[in-house]
Structure 1
């Protein structure tokens, strides 16, 4: 596959390539909802393969602490999932892909996080939760404190890592004004 000059080709994936195996604890290869390997070293190992296909952006599922391998049950917006590796290993992947003219984009879900999310465990933030369903929390995205915390978390993430962008997910029924404020804050943090 060739990449015509100036076009954007996005390769979307979950962190499932296993490179080191050193972080394969509490894994279960027989249960598709559990961790079964997959780490930042595995993403680095696939760099040549993905690059040869002509992709310019690699979009990955959330890499934050989570109860499920696909990042769908986040427990934090700041801690990197230790099954995937360390923050230094993630930055190394970002730099390696960037050196091959590919950017890393990471999913940042605004809702549908784990009941065990660190904010949900804080009694002072009890009013941040709008509802729960299917074992997931929906934040009250009209709450200014929730909005400020999400903006700060996303801004901190993009200023910490040299990623090419974030993809805001789980945004159904989110107020357009808040989304625009969040996007503006992210652009102010990093062009």
Structure 2
């Protein structure tokens, strides 16, 4: 009975932790929040903190694959997919390695929220550098010359999109983190109350 109960509890937590990916999929396919205002990076970073590498990579891949089936993709598919999937693969290890080096008892939640947000912004910058390199490399419209000047111009033109991506991480990662923490605490308290009532009745 206890094993079944634990399994049900774990299922609830997994559902909770996958909600950001569901929202990321819907944002890409149903309610676009604006050019490069996206939820997938936030979902990935939150998953790296709450789940493991396998789940983070699989859910990120699933969102990209399914949403691209709906909205289509472009010739820089290799750069956009890898721009998400490479961080998804390594982010869990980065979170666990760096986070374990800090032992801050006071304001730990605030520190964690800031740490995850900083990591998200780092992913945004890497995505910007990588995908804009792809835009420059595969440019078939003659927008950019195939030299350093053309590459720099491509990066300059991409800055407004980077701004929106960074804004997304600054807003959605802290909100997502504190919501998940609050709901997790509520679920744990409910479970403790149920256990205490069960012990009293027995």
Q: TM-score, normalised by structure 1?
A: 0.31
Larger radius of gyration: 2
Q: More strand by proportion, 1 or 2?
A: 1
Q: TM-score, normalised by structure 2?
A: 0.30
Q: More helix by proportion, 1 or 2?
A: 2
